[in-house]
Amino acid sequence: MAEKMEFDYIVCGGGTSGCVVASRLAEDSNISVLVIEAGENCLDVVGSQMSGGMLQLLGGPHDWNFFSTPQTHAADREISLTRGRFLGGSSGLNGTLCIRGTKQDYDDWDVPGWSGEEMFAAMKKAENFRGKDWFEVKKDAHGFDGPVNVEPHDLAPISERIMESLQDQGFPLDHDMFSTGERAHGCGHAPRTVYNGLRTTAAEYTRGWEHKTNFTILFKTQVSKVNLTRTETGLQATSVEAITSDGETKTYTARHEIILSAGTYCTPAILLRSGIGPKVELVKHNSPCHVDLPGVGQNLQDHLIVFVPYEVLPGLTYDNKLYPEEALKATYEEWVTKKTGLLSTFPFGAFAYARLDDRLQDSKDWQQAKTADRDPMGQTKSQPHIEFRNTECCVGPRELPPASGKNAFAMVTELFSPHSRGSVTLSSTDPFAAPVIDHNYLSHPLDLLVLTEGVRLGNEIVMQGKATRDLILNSYPSELTQHHLHKTREEWIPFVCRGATTCYHPVGTCKMASAASLADDPAAVVDERLRVRGVRGLRVADCSIIPKIPNGHTCMPAYGIGERGVEILRDDLKDAGTRREARSGKEERL
């Protein structure tokens, strides 16, 4: 049978948001949908189902294996920037944590249709929450009939102690605080996209696609660019050029629309290769500029995290399930046969949000940056400055040595609402070339200040909290630093600059803005209906549209963007007939 080359909608990138958009559109059997995905199906990758084995996927064939440019303010390191390269995208190899941020974070986007209430409702649509007896659920905060299984995590002994120390140090316990979006300070449990020992990913939305005549997924096929046509009424996106695993270039035509869902690093790269982006950038590559959009690839934001590892008394962590190799084999066998044990869940335990106002009063930078209604990080009192979480065994940055014969865990501090902004640009117009990713981490002094103060507080919780202070034997590895003894911010700064790394939450490179503010915002790339400025029939639906990074993790927002995006597409489908008519005039392919 001849290959189908024409579809109503083409979704470029079958990742977290892309799977949602494509599958929801294909629920209407009258609409034909094509997904073009560079990788294979994560449902066929065993390591993807085993969320505790996530580290095994990093750096492998299902990772895009991007690196940042050397980060001047972070000890000149080139930081590994993993992204999922399979159907399901980064949801197929992430940490499974469902932490949605606060409602105020989305209200701050100031874009109609994307408020806190609307985004929380959209995230609920994705979810099928599965409770546990001990977990105090806030039912209104959850969805119960979406495709994505979500369940709470049973704490390891070390995490129970951390949770107690957090409470002792002024963090009230609220089990379900990371789903309600209403608390800025406190500790609780972070639910996971896991159920019965198996990870759920966005690919779950597409399950059974091969039995639908209106739904096509092309695997191992890489989008190189979107083709544009000049019509009497302006530029129109008409088709997608893609390269198959055999190296063949093919062109797929979209009757209605093309949706870019290739993620924060790859979506702007596709736009740039299509001649849509800052003219100055395109000129560098001798590429034509069809739409001069200065914001494409700019406004890059991410959350930085710092791991602070400690050696502890035996019997509290799960290191004996990982080391020596024989133990790991038994742990793996347990997951294969029963889907239980360390590999059945992501080994991070207690979680907390913190505001640091009181602790930062002594800083001149902090004092000077205050405004009437916002704190120096641009936040209201209802938003946290940082997040804490602890690992349940010795895991963390790749350079952390395995805790053979020892027991170790890390307190992790995550910086919210960073001021630093980076960019994604092309290294060349070759579709297989990695983009140039400069996060510009810690370039803003307030980011370093707040992150360092967070790390300092994290150490105090561990070293002074009543449930942990008698358990700590040393820093880990003790021969490198004695960081558990650090007291001042100044002592922590070199540790933070050397150790801060990505939390894998890049957003913002195709910034969304309200229709009303587009004219005054040259950095905006899409409007509130996700339409790329200056081109008809082209939208973006993934984390790249996020104007300002929420104070949580980005997977639930990615699902929410997919769900909101499809609501918008369905609404707009009403005038699709008009659009097709408009295209029947004089056309010139660019």
Ligand X SMILES: Cc1cc2nc3c(=O)[nH]c(=O)nc-3n(C[C@H](O)[C@H](O)[C@H](O)COP(=O)(O)OP(=O)(O)OC[C@H]3O[C@@H](n4cnc5c(N)ncnc54)[C@H](O)[C@@H]3O)c2cc1C
Token duo for residue 184: 């800025």
* Number of residues binding to ligand X, judged by CB under 6 A: 40
Residue 467 region, left (φ>0) first, then alpha (ψ -120 to 50), else beta? alpha
Q: How far is the CB of 546 from ligand X (least distance, A)?
A: 9
Q: Which residue is nearest to ligand X (CB)?
A: 15
Residue 550, SS3? Answer: coil
Residue that the structure tokens 């008809």 belong to: 536
Which region among 13-21, 378-386, 420-428, 519-527 touches ligand X (by CB under 6 A)? 13-21
Q: CA of 512: how far to CAs of 16, 347, 526, 534, in Å?
A: 18, 35, 5, 14
- Whose Cβ is closer to ligand X: residue 386's or residue 449's? 386
- Whose Cβ is closer to ligand X: residue 11's or residue 471's? 11
What is the DSSP secondary structure assignment for residue 368, as one 8-state letter? Answer: H
Q: Determine, following the binding rule CB under 6 A, whether residue 312 of this chain makes contact with ligand X.
A: no
| Site mask for ligand X (CB under 6 A), range 27-46, x = bound | ---------xxxx-------
Q: Determine, following the binding rule CB under 6 A, whether residue 558 of this chain makes contact with ligand X.
A: yes
User: Under rule CB under 6 A, which residues in 164-223 are in contact with ligand X?
Assistant: 222-223
Token duo for residue 140: 């209104």
189 belongs to the catalytic site: no
| Site mask for ligand X (CB under 6 A), range 237-266, x = bound | ------------------------xxxx-x
Q: Determine, following the binding rule CB under 6 A, whether residue 68 of this chain makes contact with ligand X.
A: no
Q: How far is the CB of 231 from ligand X (least distance, A)?
A: 26
Q: How far is the CB of 503 from ligand X (least distance, A)?
A: 7
User: Under rule CB under 6 A, which residues in 446-505 are in contact with ligand X?
Assistant: 504-505
CA–CA separation, 123 vs 575, rounded Å?
27
User: Under rule CB under 6 A, which residues in 270-289 are in contact with ligand X?
Assistant: 270
DSSP character string of 134-161:
T----GGG--BSSSEEEB--PPPHHHHH
Which region among 77-85, 312-320, 400-408, 575-583 touches ligand X (by CB under 6 A)? 77-85
- Whose Cβ is closer to ligand X: residue 446's or residue 530's? 530
Q: How far apart are the first and last CA of the chain?
A: 31
Q: Determine, following the binding rule CB under 6 A, whether residue 268 of this chain makes contact with ligand X.
A: no
Token duo for residue 50: 């085993």
- Whose Cβ is closer to ligand X: residue 347's or residue 465's? 347
553 belongs to the catalytic site: yes
Token duo for residue 432: 């297989």
- Reduce the secondary structure of 180-235 to three states and give it as a string: HCCCCCEEEECCECEECCEECCHHHHHCCHHHCCCEEEECCCEEEEEEEEEECCEE
Q: Determine, following the binding rule CB under 6 A, whether residue 543 of this chain makes contact with ligand X.
A: yes
Among 554, 563, 565, 569, which residue sits at the site for ligand X (rule: CB under 6 A)? Answer: 554
The answer to whether 291 and 45 have CB atoms below 8 angstroms apart is no
Q: Determine, following the binding rule CB under 6 A, whether residue 17 of this chain makes contact with ligand X.
A: yes
Q: CA of 258: how far to CAs of 213, 269, 284, 357, in Å?
A: 19, 15, 27, 45
Residue positions forming the annotated binding site for FAD: 16-17, 223
Q: Determine, following the binding rule CB under 6 A, whether residue 94 of this chain makes contact with ligand X.
A: yes
Q: Residue 148 contacts by C-beta under 8 Å, 6 or more apart in sequence?
A: 126, 127, 128, 193, 200, 201, 202, 204, 559
Among 68, 71, 82, 236, which residue sits at the site for ligand X (rule: CB under 6 A)? Answer: 82
Q: How far is the CB of 158 from ligand X (least distance, A)?
A: 19
Q: Which of 62, 256, 303, 505 is catalytic?
A: 505
Q: Which residues are catalytic?
A: 505, 553
Residues that bind ligand X (CB under 6 A): 12-18, 36-39, 82-85, 89-91, 93-97, 222-223, 261-264, 266, 270, 504-505, 542-543, 553-556, 558
